[in-house]
Structure 1
Amino acid sequence: MSLPERLFFVDTTLREGEQFASARFTSAQRLAIAEMLDAFGVEYIELTSPAASPQSARDLATIARHGLRARILTHIRCHMTDARLAVEHGAQGANLLFATSEPLRTVSHGRSLNEILAEAQQVITYLRDHDVEVRFSCEDSFRTDLADLIRIYRAVETMGVQRIGLADTVGIATPRQVYEVVSAVRAEVTCDIEFHGHNDSGCAVANTFCAYEAGATHLDVTVLGIGERNGIASLSGMIARIASVDPNRVRRYRLDLLPKIDETVATMLGIEIPFNQCITSPTAFHHKAGMHTKAVLADPRSYEVLDPNLFGRQRTIA
């Protein structure tokens, strides 16, 4: 299977991950997480909006000016007040969102599509004038009419955004649906596409991979998959999924750092690494059944699609 060349990870542990039930990161912990992710090689690190709290604003400024290789993004409402704060605190990119599905438009802001686009124009123009990279995302994309999505994405592309975002905000989408919708949008815009998939129905990794296959270039992940409710696609899960198809796509990352990253964040959260976590679980490379152990001793590839040595792990045999 041939995978698309363009692949960028947007790690949102410091934004989406902050919404996990037990997440209470200190400023020092946020900086430590950002440094680990940067050492691993993620291309983007997304932080909570500076409008959320004075501490969020200070942490954004600190991390944005810390000299990391990753581009530092902040996730903001499509409001001029938020956009000004993003610029003031040094964000290199702004991830804008607007609820576009009928359920959320009804209970959230009550605006028409024309009103959404009028507000977006002002905010996007301001951010681009300040050399800020811009993504515009339709919140709850997969409960939004496809014609409305395409209309919005075409419009914001002409306004100068670097990419548009498709968000499965409530985890309702199926892998086939994700592939079809991303493919349809890919045919209508030339800018990059970001995908953000929640795990409410257990499809976050599968959906994110299908989005990548269909033409999404930027994939949202968090350490351990933490996030609102039961989270989004995990960094280790997406690395495992892509590496099992084409290891060359992920060789540029420091794969051996994954176990330390997952372990460190789990400790900060006061939780264990889940037993079924790809790559970093204590049992990820453990073999027990007699038929399996015999085959693995003869040739590890018989029951391993990933080489544990690439990730600083070792297989164990019962």
Structure 2
Amino acid sequence: MTTYGRDQVNGTAEGKVNNPYMPRYEDLLSRVNNFSIIESTLREGEQFANAFFDTAKKIEIAKALDDFGVEYIELTSPAASEQSRQDCTAICQLGLKAKILTHIRCHIDDARIAVETGVDGVDVVIGTSSYLREFSHGKDMNYITEKATEVINFVKSKGIEVRFSSEDSFRSDLVDLLSIYRTVDKLGVNRVGIADTVGCANPRQVYELVRTLRGVVSCDIECHFHNDTGCAIANAYAALEAGATHIDTSVLGIGERNGITPLGGFCARMYTADKNYIKNKYKLHMLRDLENLVADAVSVQVPFNNYITGYCAFTHKAGIHAKAILNNPSTYEILKPEDFGMTRYVSIGHRLTGWNAVKNRVEQLGLSLTDDQVKKVTAKIKELADIRPQSMEDVDNLLRDYHYAVTSGDQSQVANVLSTAIAN
């Protein structure tokens, strides 16, 4: 039986081989520590119900994403509107490190408009499921193959990247999918795309499809997962395990309906796979500002339980949790808050608090109390918390008053502090 030491749990180089959060035997095709992010806040994110990004805001978000370190930034099709075309051109002229992509229908007119903006690549998409072929564009697979060939050859002739993606991939016929992917791979696309457009896929289905596709095409594989059933992050991870190379994300997961794989949540998941890889690749400490920027732009609050940056993400409350956290944060934290520019918070103004947590706060305040004294004041905090919530300020005032009374040596004053506290 393999045992895991402290270094192994914390993911240092010494423990990387036996990382308990990874499969015992890694898949030979796995790309969990060798992938690229295609950040789609400025494309998929524009489909979010509250989204309206003017040019200045798009530029601000694009620069922030570039500073964070994403490899690609995907923009709304310039064929969507004149303003979209102008915005696409403006962002292409910023000189960002990230490659700029735009997402278009599988139509030659859209492709011509796209390449004129100066993008580094064009992401071509068309529905392949029976639902979309019947109720959306109404075309058969022969038509799709013909149009895909025309558009891909045109984009390639301009010397820029091209990706071909099916839409609603997981409700498409497997034979149809593999046939069109094999065709476009032979045409020389940089990537083929799998899209869980309605969020119906589960990780096992994702793994099996990506693994099958990996045996059919030699190009890269990009995956786009919607979050309607809560599997977007898990599906992205499974895709990488099976050999996918690129994952689509958006900040806070914003997008059509419930959105797609959230950038922050994806980074959290990948951090557990290879902490050093993700830390060296992206500026994780910028995540909170990036999310606040987008949240403000679309008039939403960052959720309390948001991955990494939610205000509860590194908050510990239960007494046994707090004691263990103070001894070794790895006991109840799989992510190190400092790696993301965050700090942990041990909540003590409640009935579940423990004296070890209160003792830690006493030491932070520079007060001197014995363990027995800390236990007495902890009992009073719990008693107070049974009556009403206690803020940190409430607790600090009680601790200071109690410390002053104890150091004065007047036992009646000590008793008075505690009785007055309960009266208040």
Please state which band the TM-score falls in when normalised by the shorter chain.
over 0.9
Q: 2:273 and 2:119 mapped to 1: Cα distance? A: 34
Partner of residue 178, structure 1: 206
Q: 1:181 and 1:55 mapped to 2: Cα distance? A: 38
Matched, 1:196 2:224: yes
Q: Deviations over 1:74-122 (max 9, x none)?
A: 0000111100011111111100001000011001122221111111111
Decide which of 256, 261, 277 is 1:233's aligned counterpart: 261
The one-letter amino acid paired with 2:316 is H
Q: Which runs of 4+ in 1 moved over 3 A?
A: none
Matched, 1:290 2:299: no
SS of the aligned residue for 1:309 comes to: helix
Q: Which structure 2 residue ranges, 5 or more long, are not aligned?
A: 1-21, 348-424
Matched, 1:255 2:284: yes
Partner of residue 110, structure 2: 82
Matched, 1:43 2:71: yes
Partner of residue 134, structure 2: 106
Q: Within 5 Å, which residues of 2 pair with 1:273-284?
A: 273-284=302-313
Matched, 1:143 2:163: no
Higher relative contact order (CA 8 A, sep 6+): 1
SS of the aligned residue for 1:219 comes to: strand
Q: 1:111 and 1:23 mapped to 2: Cα distance? A: 31
Q: 1:271 and 1:119 mapped to 2: Cα distance? A: 40
SS of the aligned residue for 1:224 comes to: helix
Matched, 1:12 2:40: yes
State the Cα distance separating 1:239 from its structure 2 match.
0.2
State the Cα distance separating 1:275 from its structure 2 match.
1.6
State the Cα distance separating 1:187 from its structure 2 match.
1.1
Q: 1:276 and 1:190 mapped to 2: Cα distance? A: 40
State the Cα distance separating 1:6 from its structure 2 match.
2.7
Q: 2:40 and 2:224 mapped to 1: Cα distance? A: 10
Matched, 1:127 2:155: yes
SS of the aligned residue for 1:138 comes to: strand
SS of the aligned residue for 2:334 comes to: coil
Q: 1:125 and 1:258 mapped to 2: Cα distance? A: 38
Partner of residue 213, structure 1: 241
Q: 1:263 and 1:214 mapped to 2: Cα distance? A: 33
> RMSD of aligned C-alpha atoms?
0.9
Moved more, 91-100 or 3-12: 3-12
- Structure with the greater alpha carbon radius of gyration: 2
Scaled by the length of structure 2, the TM-score of the pair is 0.74
Matched, 1:317 2:349: no
SS of the aligned residue for 2:123 comes to: strand
State the identity %: 53
Task: Give the total of aligned pairs.
Answer: 318
Q: 2:198 and 2:134 mapped to 1: Cα distance? A: 16
State the Cα distance separating 1:308 from its structure 2 match.
0.4
State the Cα distance separating 1:276 from its structure 2 match.
1.9
Q: Which structure is higher in strand share?
A: 1
State the Cα distance separating 1:138 from its structure 2 match.
0.3
State the Cα distance separating 1:161 from its structure 2 match.
0.4
Q: 2:96 and 2:132 mapped to 1: Cα distance? A: 36
Decide which of 77, 95, 107 is 2:123's aligned counterpart: 95
Q: 2:224 and 2:156 mapped to 1: Cα distance? A: 23
Q: 2:53 and 2:89 mapped to 1: Cα distance? A: 16
Q: Deviations over 1:40-97 (max 9, x none)?
A: 0000000000011111000100001110000000000011110001111111110000
SS of the aligned residue for 1:158 comes to: helix
Partner of residue 307, structure 1: 336
Q: 1:271 and 1:98 mapped to 2: Cα distance? A: 31
Partner of residue 416, structure 2: none
Partner of residue 62, structure 1: 90
Q: 2:339 and 2:276 mapped to 1: Cα distance? A: 12
Partner of residue 418, structure 2: none
Q: Deviations over 1:275-307 (max 9, x none)?
A: 221111111111011111110000000000010
Partner of residue 117, structure 1: 145
The one-letter amino acid paired with 1:52 is A
Decide which of 51, 69, 73 is 1:23's aligned counterpart: 51
The one-letter amino acid paired with 2:306 is Q
Q: Which structure 1 residue ranges, 5 or more long, are not aligned?
A: none
Q: 1:239 and 1:294 mapped to 2: Cα distance? A: 28
State the Cα distance separating 1:248 from its structure 2 match.
2.3
The one-letter amino acid paired with 2:183 is A
State the Cα distance separating 1:212 from its structure 2 match.
1.0
Q: 1:81 and 1:262 mapped to 2: Cα distance? A: 35
Decide which of 279, 299, 305 is 1:270's aligned counterpart: 299
The one-letter amino acid paired with 1:90 is G
